[in-house]
Amino acid sequence: MTPIRLALRFATAVAVTLGLTCAAVPAVADEQELAFEGSPSASVHPWDPLPNDYSNLDLTVTGRYDWRYDVQVSFDTRDLTGIAELTTDSNCSHDSTVHVCLRTTGLEGQGWWIGHPMLAVASGARPGDSGVLHVTATGPTGRRISKDVTVFIGGTSLRIKPIPPQPNVLPSAATNPLIEIVNEGTLPANRVLLVVSGQDGLEFQEHFANCQYGDGFNRTAAVCTIESQIAPGETVTLDALRLGFTGDERATGARFHLAANVEDRTISALRTEFEFEPGSGPRLTFGKPETPVTAVGGPNITRLAAPDTDAGFAVGIRRDIEAVGRWAPDDDGRTGTLTVGAQNNGPAKLMSGPEVYLLLPEGATTLPPVGCRPRGAGPAADRSFVCDASSAQQEGSGKTFDFLLRLTTAALGGPVEVYARLPEPDADQLNDSLNLTLGARTATSSGAGPVVGAAAVAALIGVLAVLTVRRRRSRTRR
C-alpha cells in the first residue's frame, strides 16, 4: 500500500472518530451570533397600564445554537429611578435595581424570548420624562452583550383615518387616496415611518426620494421616512401618493402601516422579505417642510394606536379579445389552410382563456387540429368547431389553429364565420367576429365587422346553421 493511501485511510479514521466524539456533546456556534433585536426606545403610557400578559419592551435576544441552551438576561434600572418601574415574571430574581432572568432557547436558529418585562410610570413622573434601561445578555459560551433602551413617559399614538373606498379606478392611471394621519398620543412624533404594501398589480408611479421600494412574492411595498413633527392632537395630510393598478384584478387593495420615530417589527420583517431600493423623485411630505431632529422619541403606543389601515380599490378593468383569420388556398384552389384564432388586446390579462368558434360553408371538409373539437348538432354538426385559446390570457398574446380544408364546387367562394368568445366582459365587441371567403386568393381578416347580436352568437355557439341563414338573408336584402 502506498504512503498516500495510508495517509488517506488514517485521515478518514480520525475524522470518523472526531465526528462520533463531537456528536455526544452539543455544539455551540460562534459567540458572535448572540445579538439583540428590537427597538432602541420604549414608550410607557402614564394613565393606561397594560395587562400582565403584555410587554411594552420590544426586545429579543437572538442566537444560533444547535441545541437548547440557557441565556441570562439582566435589566439594570439604576437610571430609571423616578421615571419608570420594571416588573418581571417568576423566572427572574431581583434586588433594588437589577432584575436577572434565565431564559431557554427554542429550536435551532430561534431566539430567546425575554418574557413579560413590564414598564410602569414611577410616582411623580410626568409625560415627556425619560430615562435609560440597561439590558445585558450572557450566552452559553460566556459571551456578554449590552443594549441601552431609552424609556419615555407618554408617547405617540399615530392613526390613519378611515380611507373611503376608491371606485372606478382606471388601470395604470394614478389615483391619490386621501391619507390623513392624527396623533392621539401625549408626545409628538418627530419622525413618521409609513409602509404602503399590496398584492401584485399595485404600482408606485412616483418613487419619492425618502422612500424605499421593493418586491416580494406576489407583493410589493414601499417604506417612507418623513422627518416632520406631528404634535399631540394634530392631523396632517399626506402628499399625493400616485398609486396605480395594472388592471388585472377587479378588486384590489393597499395596506398602510405607521410607525412613530423608530422602526418597528413590521418594518424589520419587511426588510428581510424585500430587497429595497431608494427612490429618486421629490420628497414625500405632509405639505410642510421637514425638520429633522436628533432625539426623535419613543415608538408608537401600540395598544392605543391603530397603525394599520386598509384601502379598497375597484379597478375599471378593460379586456378586449379579437377574432383573427386567414385563408391560404393551394394552387389547385380545392385545398388550403384556414387559420383562425383569438388575440388579447389587453390592457388587462384574461382571468380565463377565450374560445374560438368556427362555421364552415357546406361542402367544406376537414379534421380539427389539436385544441379543437366538433361542435353543434343537426345539419351543421360536421362543419362547426370550437377551439380552446386559453394560452392567450396575457396581454398581447394570441393563439391560432390551422384547419386543412378540402372544398367541393359548392364550397368554393363560400363564407367562413369566426367568433371569439370571452366568458367575462369584453370592452370591444365589434372585433369579436369576422367573415372570410374561401376564394382562389389568399384572404386575411380580423374582427372589424358589425357586432354579432345575442341571438346570432347563441346560434353560432349552438346550432350554427341558424347564423348562416340569417346572414344570407341580410345580404339578399342589401
- Nearest alpha carbon to residue 450 among 464, 434, 426: 434
Would the pLDDT of 108 be above 70? no
pLDDT at 401: 96
Q: What percent of the chain has pLDDT over 90?
A: 35
Q: What number is the average pLDDT over the span 108-118?
A: 64
Would the pLDDT of 370 be above 90? yes
Would the pLDDT of 53 be above 50? no
pLDDT at 49: 56
Q: What number is the average pLDDT over the span 343-347?
A: 80
- Binned at pLDDT 50, 70 and 90, residue 302 comes out as low
Q: What domains can be seen in the chain, in order of their start residue? A: 31-153 (2.60.40.10), 158-315 (2.60.40.10), 321-477 (2.60.40.1170)
Contacts 24+ apart (CB under 8 A), 452-461: 452/419, 457/419, 457/421, 460/357, 460/359, 460/384, 460/417, 460/419, 460/433, 461/357, 461/375, 461/386, 461/419, 461/421
Would the pLDDT of 128 be above 90? no
CA distances from 329 to 337, 400, 410, 417, 437 (A): 6, 17, 16, 17, 11
Exposed, middle or buried: residue 248 (CB in 10 Å: 0-12, 13-18, 19+)? buried
pLDDT at 192: 94
Backbone phi and psi for residue 467, each to the nearest 5 degrees, phi listed first: -65, -40
pLDDT at 477: 41
- Binned at pLDDT 50, 70 and 90, residue 21 comes out as very low
Backbone phi and psi for residue 151, each to the nearest 5 degrees, phi listed first: -110, 125
Of the candidate ranges 279-283, 286-290, 347-351, 440-444, the one whose mean pLDDT is the lowest: 347-351
Residue-wise DSSP of 383-397 = GEEEEE-GGG-STT-
Cβ atoms of residues 142 and 108 within 8 Å? no
> For 175, which DSSP code?
B
pLDDT at 18: 31
pLDDT at 250: 61
Joined together, the cell numbers standing for residue 109 give 436558529
Would the pLDDT of 458 be above 50? no
Would the pLDDT of 305 be above 60? no
Q: What number is the average pLDDT over the span 1-22?
A: 36
pLDDT at 107: 47
- Binned at pLDDT 50, 70 and 90, residue 262 comes out as confident
Helix-, strand-, coil-residue percentages of the chain, each rounded to 5:
15, 40, 45
Backbone phi and psi for residue 91, each to the nearest 5 degrees, phi listed first: -85, 10
Q: Strand, coil or helix: what is 75? A: strand
Stronger pLDDT, 340 or 49, i.e. the higher one: 340
Would the pLDDT of 418 be above 90? yes
Residue-wise DSSP of 409-461 = GGGTT-EEEEEEE-SS--S-GGGSEEEEE--SS-EEEES-SPPPPHHHHHHHH
User: How do residues 275-297 score in pLDDT, each as one tens digit?
Assistant: 899 999 999 999 999 998 887 88
Of the candidate ranges 206-220, 223-237, 413-427, the one whose mean pLDDT is the lowest: 413-427
Per-residue exposure over 166-180, b if at least 16 CB sit within 10 Å of its own CB, e if not = beebebeeebebebe
Cβ atoms of residues 152 and 44 within 8 Å? yes
Stronger pLDDT, 56 or 378, i.e. the higher one: 56
Q: Determine how many CB atoms are found less than 10 A away from the CB of residue 433.
A: 25
Amino acid at 145: I
Of the candidate ranges 197-201, 275-279, 423-427, 453-457, the one whose mean pLDDT is the lowest: 453-457
- Nearest alpha carbon to residue 155 among 290, 55, 308, 305: 305
> What's the mean pLDDT when you consider all of the chain?
78
Cβ atoms of residues 60 and 36 within 8 Å? yes
Q: Determine how many CB atoms are found less than 10 A away from the CB of residue 82.
A: 11
Give the integer Cα–Cα distance in Å for 370 and 368: 7
Would the pLDDT of 425 be above 50? yes
pLDDT at 127: 86
pLDDT at 157: 87
Q: What number is the average pLDDT over the span 347-355?
A: 74
- Binned at pLDDT 50, 70 and 90, residue 397 comes out as confident
Give the integer Cα–Cα distance in Å for 267 and 195: 8
Q: What number is the average pLDDT over the span 91-99?
A: 89
Q: Strand, coil or helix: what is 329? A: strand
pLDDT at 64: 65
Give the integer Cα–Cα distance in Å for 325 and 327: 7
Stronger pLDDT, 197 or 34, i.e. the higher one: 197
Would the pTM count as exceeding 0.75?
no
Give the integer Cα–Cα distance in Å for 473 and 478: 9
Stronger pLDDT, 211 or 216, i.e. the higher one: 211
Cβ atoms of residues 244 and 170 within 8 Å? no
